[in-house]
């Protein structure tokens, strides 16, 4: 006995082995392939004595190819039917076993024409549904043909016309079931490269910078970098403030637009001087949870990167509070009294005091204009400095900065840190600060609005990378007085049990440097409390701390009851964590863009001539294969140098670069020697310690106060090169034996 049955959607044949069981409810059978099965009678579609099952299946497969499924549909009745019922309608009176089996196969394989209603039973699909299904099948066939064609074009380096206008979606929000994405994914898999690299290769994206920038903006600015509308800032909250009789001066980089700190120096009797540190006061006009606060709390910080920035606050708000030259602005002022030697005076009537007031901004000094004129020798000389009309005031600020620096070093040493050196680093050390200027071929600076256009086409842009020496007199003045301001206000919050967002560096390990809502030591800076307060126009932590300070100044000891953020406020804890995460992500993006432009610098136009790879130059070994190019802040990984001592100078050839993965192929040309002493090598390893602070060359006053050591060794090594994997176990063991000393070179 031969049987036809269905298994897994396929029509199969078998023959009986022996006789059926009681009442023939089951049969022992063997398939054509030789597999023994137990076949239930109710699962059998057709049984026959001859010919053999194998011959029937061979003939049925041949006949099935010639069956017209559309004609079969027309022959079928409206009601349910068994497959053998319409055999006569389709084949005629005499129907062979092979034809019956072929008909069963055809019906089973045509679900859009016939619905399955049971074992061997079917129902004809309604005409309207059939037409829709046929149209869908045809559409999918055409789409599949198009997908295959697009894939072939991509593999040949051509961009299909259909991809134009869909690139952003394919990059940042792809429909992985769509034919465009499937063609791209298949082509990139065949080529052995990423979809992004393939899109770059076929010209769908003009530059790898579009990839890096697009990824960052999608994650952190999904609704774009523009600002939503908000109510105007009303000046009624500070109109009645007293106008100070001092005139303040700011010191900033040339590109700074958010000027939020300034200084004043006033002569007092008995050869004393009053120094004022004046911080813009947006906390007077922006209130917690209002529309502008919602904007600021979403962004958390201004984003800085070579070529531009994305501000935390709208220009309409910044212009109201920025300490611009010739204007009167509200400010949170810290006044201290110093003697001629710069020593801060304490005692009755002399202790530091904080006031909310209005001040007049006399001048916005620019770093590139002032720094070349001011040296320690010139400031300490009675001779006037030509071109500098604020010489006496800068001299007082400098004397005070030196005293503040020495006080910090005493605490640093007590914390187990090495004493820092005041002034520029040793000439053998690598430069630590750089200016990145992005220009077009006519040497015109690329403005931030052009930089943020999508797509970014920077193929004709050039980058000028110049060094800026760290540790100058102006650096020290701004850094020390900002540290003093943040320390003093941090101590004020701590003394009056007002929570805030504090910068803490204490202990060792991954969380050595952290943001938290409780005060704590900052061992690297050598201060007992440290709260970011001096950049409220560009960092949300500073704005939040300013609200707390304003509350204390206005309410006194009652502030902890009425402050915007009381003790153990879960909102404050959430904002602290969010700020820390977002601020780190912004700095990571800045590092990515800096590395991108460093790699571009290696092979760009120089003096109107193409500087072609390979590029030969000097690098210095950091640790475990990490090297830094001496001329620019570019870090690379060279496995062959993993055994070389830190500080070793090596001449290398950079053979090729990949702007998408931000890597380079490096060949060692010659190992030269170690540079400097062991201490200098350690200082070199700590190059760019303040990578969690944005480059002060881009915007000096926003972070120059934190030029002292801040990161743990784990964090330093982690940030030296995001591509390399650094083993920290050895570092941790070394720290336990002898805690490393972090220093600013």
Per-residue pLDDT tens for 384-399? Answer: 888 788 889 999 999 9
Per-residue pLDDT reduced to its tens digit, 208-218: 998 999 999 99
Distance separating alpha carbons of residues 531 and 582, to the nearest angstrom: 18
What pLDDT, on the 0 to 100 scale, is given for residue 675? 58
User: 17-48, pLDDT tens digit by residue?
Assistant: 876 654 568 888 888 888 888 888 888 888 88
* Average pLDDT over the chain, rounded to an integer: 83
- Distance (Å, whole) CA 313 – CA 228: 11
Q: What is the pLDDT of residue 41?
A: 84
Q: Is the pLDDT of residue 270 over 90?
A: no
Confidence band, pLDDT 50/70/90 cuts, at residue 317: very high
For 198-259, list the strands marked E by DSSP: 243-252
Model confidence at 576, in pLDDT bands (50, 70, 90)?
Answer: very high
pLDDT of the residue at 23: 57
Beta-sheet strands, E only, within 485-625: 502-505, 513-516, 605-606, 609-610, 615-623
404 CB contacts (<8 Å, ≥6 apart)? 342, 344, 480, 481, 483, 484
DSSP string, 626-652: EEEESSSS-EEE-GGGTTSPTTEEEEE
Question: Above 50 in pLDDT, residue 696?
Answer: no
Whether 186 shows a pLDDT value over 50: the answer reads: yes
Residue 20's pLDDT is 62
Higher pLDDT: 132 or 432? It is: 132
> Cβ–Cβ contacts within 10 Å for residue 727, how many?
9
Contact 259, 364 (CB under 8 A): yes
d(CA 688, CA 389): 33
pTM of the model: 0.78
Task: Report whether 681 contacts 649 (CB < 8 A).
Answer: no
| CA pair distance 333, 385, nearest whole angstrom | 29
Contact by Cβ (8 Å): 576, 501:
yes
Return the pLDDT at 136: 84
Q: What is the mean pLDDT of residues 91-114?
A: 86
- In this structure, of 163-177, 402-416, 652-666, the range with the lowest mean pLDDT score is 163-177
Compute the average pLDDT of residues 531-551: 94
- Flag whether pLDDT at 718 surpasses 70: no
Closest C-alpha among 658, 631, 511 to residue 577: 511
Q: Does residue 563 carry a pLDDT above 60?
A: yes
CB count in 10 Å sphere of residue 487:
23
Confidence of residue 674 (pLDDT cuts 50, 70, 90): low
Is the pLDDT at 688 greater than 70, yes or no? no
Least confident residue range of 22-26, 287-291, 471-475, 582-586: 22-26
Task: Report H helices in 442-504.
Answer: 448-451, 473-495
User: What percent of the chain stands above pLDDT 70?
Assistant: 88
Per-residue pLDDT for 266 more than 90? yes
Q: Which residues contact 2 (CB under 8 A, 6 or more apart)?
A: 13, 14, 15, 16, 47, 48, 49, 50, 52, 53, 56
599-643 tens-digit pLDDT: 999 887 554 445 677 888 899 998 888 999 988 899 999 989 888
The pLDDT of residue 170: 87
DSSP-derived secondary structure letter, 235: G
DSSP state of 428: T
Q: Where are the domains of the chain?
A: 2-125, 129-205, 590-737
Q: What does the pLDDT average to over 129-144?
A: 86
Q: How is residue 27 written in tokens?
A: 């049969």
Q: Of 43, 140, 59, give the one whose Cα is nearest residue 102.
A: 59
Confidence band for 702, pLDDT divided at 50, 70 and 90: very low
The residues that bridge with 330 in the sheet, in sequence order, are 358
- What sign does the CA torsion over 657, 658, 659, 661 have? negative
Residue 507 has pLDDT above 60, yes or no: yes
Bigger pLDDT: 336 vs 53: 336
């Amino acid at each position: 006995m031969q049987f036809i049955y269905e298994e897994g959607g396929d029509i199969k044949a078998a023959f009986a082995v022996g006789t059926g069981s009681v009442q023939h409810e089951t049969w022992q059978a063997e398939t054509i392939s030789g597999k023994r099965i137990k076949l239930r009678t109710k699962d059998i579609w057709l049984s026959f004595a001859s010919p053999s099952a194998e011959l029937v299946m061979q003939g049925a497969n041949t006949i099935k190819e010639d069956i017209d499924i559309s004609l079969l549909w027309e022959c079928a009745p409206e009601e349910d039917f068994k497959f053998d019922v319409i055999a006569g309608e389709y084949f005629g009176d005499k129907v062979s076993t092979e034809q019956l089996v072929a008909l069963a196969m055809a019906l089973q394989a045509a679900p859009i024409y016939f619905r399955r209603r049971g074992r061997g039973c079917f129902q004809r699909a309604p005409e309207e549904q059939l037409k829709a299904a046929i149209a869908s099948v045809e559409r999918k066939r055409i789409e599949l043909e198009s997908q295959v064609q697009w894939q072939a074009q991509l593999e040949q380096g051509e961009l299909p016309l259909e991809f134009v206008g869909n690139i952003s979606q394919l990059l940042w929000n792809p429909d992985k079931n769509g034919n465009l994405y499937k063609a791209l994914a298949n082509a990139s898999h065949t080529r052995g490269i990423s979809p992004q690299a393939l899109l770059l290769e076929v010209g769908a994206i003009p530059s790898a910078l579009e990839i890096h920038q697009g990824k960052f903006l999608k994650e952190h600015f999904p609704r774009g970098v523009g600002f939503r509308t908000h109510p105007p800032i009303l000046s009624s909250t500070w109109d009645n403030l007293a106008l100070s009789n001092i005139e303040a001066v700011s010191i900033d980089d040339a590109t700074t637009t958010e000027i939020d700190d300034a200084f004043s120096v006033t002569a007092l009797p008995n050869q004393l001087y009053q120094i004022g540190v004046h911080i813009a006061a947006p906390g007077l006009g922006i209130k917690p949870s209002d529309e502008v606060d919602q904007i600021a709390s979403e962004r958390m910080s201004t984003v800085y990167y070579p070529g531009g920035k994305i501000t935390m606050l709208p220009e309409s708000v910044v212009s109201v509070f920025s300490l611009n030259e010739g204007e009167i602005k509200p400010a949170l002022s810290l006044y201290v009294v110093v003697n001629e030697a710069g020593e801060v005076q304490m005692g009755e009537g002399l202790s530091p005091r904080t006031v909310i007031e209005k001040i007049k901004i006399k001048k916005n000094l620019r770093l590139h204009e002032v720094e070349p004129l001011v040296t320690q020798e010139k400031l300490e000389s009675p001779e006037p400095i030509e071109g500098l009309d604020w010489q006496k005031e800068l001299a007082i600020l400098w004397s005070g900065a030196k005293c503040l620096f020495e006080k910090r070093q005493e605490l640093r040493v007590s914390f187990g840190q090495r004493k820092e050196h005041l002034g520029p680093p040793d000439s053998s050390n690598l430069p630590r600060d750089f200016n990145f200027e992005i220009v077009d071929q006519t040497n015109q600076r690329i403005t931030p609005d052009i930089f943020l256009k999508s797509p970014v086409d920077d193929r004709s842009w050039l980058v000028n990378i110049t060094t800026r020496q760290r540790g100058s007199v102006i650096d020290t003045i701004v850094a020390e007085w900002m540290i003093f301001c943040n320390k003093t206000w941090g101590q004020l919050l701590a003394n009056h049990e007002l929570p805030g967002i504090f910068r803490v560096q204490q202990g060792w390990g991954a969380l050595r440097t952290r943001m938290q809502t409780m005060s704590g030591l900052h061992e690297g800076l050598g201060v007992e409390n440290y709260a970011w307060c001096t950049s409220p126009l560009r960092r949300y932590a500073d704005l939040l701390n300013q609200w707390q300070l304003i509350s204390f100044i206005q309410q006194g000891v009652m502030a902890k009851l009425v402050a915007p953020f009381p003790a153990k406020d879960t909102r404050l804890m959430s904002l602290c964590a969010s700020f820390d995460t977002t601020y780190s992500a912004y700095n990571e993006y800045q590092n990515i863009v800096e590395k991108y432009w460093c790699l571009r610098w290696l092979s760009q136009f120089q003096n109107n001539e193409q500087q072609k790879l390979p590029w030969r130059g000097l690098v210095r070994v950091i640790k475990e294969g990490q090297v830094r190019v001496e001329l620019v802040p570019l870090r690379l990984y060279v496995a062959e140098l993993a055994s070389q001592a830190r500080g070793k100078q090596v001449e290398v050839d950079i053979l090729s670069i990949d702007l998408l993965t931000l890597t380079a192929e490096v060949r060692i040309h010659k190992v030269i020697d170690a540079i400097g002493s062991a201490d200098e090598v350690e200082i070199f390893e700590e190059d760019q310690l303040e990578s969690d602070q944005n480059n002060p060359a881009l915007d000096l006053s926003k972070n120059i106060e934190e030029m002292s050591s801040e990161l743990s060794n784990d964090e330093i090594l982690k940030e030296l090169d995001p591509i390399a994997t650094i083993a920290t176990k050895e570092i941790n063991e070394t720290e336990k034996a002898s805690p490393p000393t972090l220093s600013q070179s």
